[in-house]
Chain A
Amino acid sequence: MWAAIRELLTRCHTPDKAFLGKPVARPVIVVIVILQLMVPGLVFLQEPPGRLGWQMYSGLGEIPKIRIETADGAVREIPFTNMAATRRPEINWGKHLPAHVCNVIPDVAAVDLIYADVDQSFACGP
């Protein structure tokens, strides 16, 4: 990494004015490298999982199970992939998913999102 930084500092001259016909200032390139490090660094310091943090396959985050209760009191689970196109753990499913479930499944009275440690309950209707 230090070798890379040293090379950037010594060799980022652009004799043929490479980018859109304009020379590129050394600080611009250094800023890009700093951003490469800083963005995932800041994401790493926040509550996982986060976007832009290169946290793939880290096991951080969780996809909830979806349980619905219909107007007649019946309770059943529905497959997550019936409702969502992906299983991304960094999406705030509690914010988005219950309203969608209430809209697309008839006669749903309540939606539960079940995580390992906590359940979130949402009532359908106005």
Chain B
Amino acid sequence: MQNVILGIKNFFKRRGIGFYFTMGGVLLSVIEVIIYSVAFSTMDYAQYFSQPAVICSVFAIILGVGLSLTKWTESLAPVALGVLELAAFMLFIKDGYWYFTTQFFGGITMQAIVTTYYGYLCSIILFLLILGVSIASVFLRQSKQIKQTENEGGNEVCQNQNI
């Protein structure tokens, strides 16, 4: 048990700021999937709902977490997250733009903006946040920079070649 705790401690100990950005993006993606699915499950808005967008987001979450677990793939995690969430966002726009033409049929007015359905506003804000976070994460180190050393057996102890 202690080894597990120690392993977890070590795991997080060597994580860089990029990792936490990625995880932040993953967390936002989870929230986004929940809000989007709930908000658009009612028949009023079901016609604007994009199932592929949700599938993309779910894959983004799985890959964002999964790829972060190994040092060989951790640098790909924010890329996968960003690309899949971008695709999800675009699908969201494509299937939902009719709503905007309806909502803003009379022009982009304050009244139209404040009466915009919460599902749209929240989803857009979350998508933009996720994209921002994941793009930033691509340029940040996923693991801390630790000087490369070799143990007695000549095996690599730690490397942080954030590609």
Does A associate with B in a complex?
no
Interfacial residues, chain A to chain B (CB-CB below 8 A): none
